Chains A and B, each alone.
Chain A
């Protein structure tokens, strides 16, 4: 719990994981950030709301958010979607019928539930579907576990998605974020 609290502490510090993600989005001109929330993403979402550079809002479903950022991309505005593992599990159809065939650089941040201390059996099961789905579509994905690698992976992955016009999933491991634990 101490670890989780420390890693989710408020503020936009450049050295916190959420601060680095926010700054990387900004540096790459990613302004539109719809989300379906996760406890782990709370501070990041709060700081996105607090910064007028970003337009951030909740969507009712993850695929709705994917549709929104896809439309925005085609209209010349960059976006990224925030979600948790179980939300990713709802996306196979939209990835295979919109993002990939239309070559849209969909940038997804997935807060990883279901592993490293999961207390909900359903979360642990649905988590096991995530990487097989990504791999079956030959999608670029990275699991980020270390703070010192975070900026490099996020920044390079965003740039690669845009230049190669291909989606990417950035999975935020509990090793990075502290995750969600039973007593929270």
Chain B
């Protein structure tokens, strides 16, 4: 975490710990979309669920994919986990989501200001931009930084009964993911569709 990041009174937390806290809160087969790299590695490491979808490419599309799931299944809550570097690739999607305003979508941005997986280079936003401020300016009024782990859990719970989409920013450390997702895209997609109740196994 770069100490020059614009002032936020937020604790630097850990991706795997936060992901585990999220998963522990899910009681209603909520969908979870894990963005490319460490974000989905930690989702995998937190314990596979049939309602998890792991991305193996297409950097930046966790929120658009989650939006699609949320539109298709308005009665199921959908979570999306995305890194700050990934989100920078697709900032326009924040406005698309704000316009469509699905109330069953919670976006979580894991912000360490670096491309950890490629060698911890800084992102262009690291020292100058505030992801939550960008989200608010994109029309996502219900966007906030989590001050600490307890605040994160509180924001997660709040988002599940919110009147519109929610975005939660979390500052995280520079640790790599704890596990490695099994890179089997067809099986990941098929299992996810079973988890979504769209298909039955053969």
When C-beta atoms are compared, the residue in chain A nearest to B196 turns out to be A75
Question: Interface size on B (CB < 8 Å)?
Answer: 39
Q: How many pairs of A and B residues are in contact by the CB < 8 Å rule?
A: 125
Tell whether, in the assembled complex, residue B33 and residue A63 are in contact, meaning their CB atoms are under 8 Å apart. no
- Report B-chain residues with C-beta under 8 Å of the C-beta of A103: 185-186, 189
How many angstroms from the CA of A70 to the CA of B67 in the assembled complex?
Answer: 10
Contact B58 A60 (CB under 8 A): no
Q: Given A72-B69, A74-B193, are A96 and B198 neighbors across the interface (CB < 8 Å)?
A: no
Q: Are A97 and B65 in contact (CB under 8 A)?
A: no
Known contacts A55-B71, A57-B99, A61-B92: A68-B198 contact under CB 8 Å: no
Closest B residue, CB atoms, query A65: B64
Is the pair B196, A76 in contact by a Cβ cutoff of 8 Å?
Answer: yes
**A59: which B residues are within 8 A, CB to CB?**
64, 92-93, 96
B178 at the interface (CB under 8 A from A): no
Do B71 and A32 have beta carbons less than 8 Å apart? yes
Beyond A60-B95, A64-B61, A74-B196, whether A101 also contacts B68 by CB under 8 A is no
A61 & B90 in contact (Cβ 8 Å cutoff): yes
The contact of B93 among A64, A77, A97, by CB within 8 Å, is A64
Specify the chain B residue showing the minimal Cβ separation from A101.
B185
User: Is A87 engaged at the interface, CB distance under 8 Å to the other chain?
Assistant: no
A65 to chain B: which residues have CB within 8 Å? 64
Mark A74-106 against chain B: 1 for CB-CB distance below 8 A, else 0: 111101000000000000011011100111100
Instruction: Known pairs A60-B96, A64-B61; list 15 more (Cβ under 8 Å).
Output: A32-B68, A61-B90, A61-B92, A63-B61, A64-B96, A67-B58, A67-B68, A68-B67, A71-B65, A73-B68, A74-B72, A74-B192, A75-B73, A101-B57, A101-B186
Interface residues of A, Cβ cutoff 8 Å to B:
32, 34, 55, 57-61, 63-77, 79, 93-94, 96-98, 101-104
User: Can you give 20 A-B contacts (C-beta < 8 A)?
Assistant: A60-B90, A60-B92, A63-B58, A64-B90, A64-B92, A64-B93, A64-B96, A67-B93, A68-B96, A70-B68, A72-B72, A74-B68, A74-B189, A75-B198, A76-B72, A76-B197, A93-B59, A101-B185, A102-B186, A103-B189
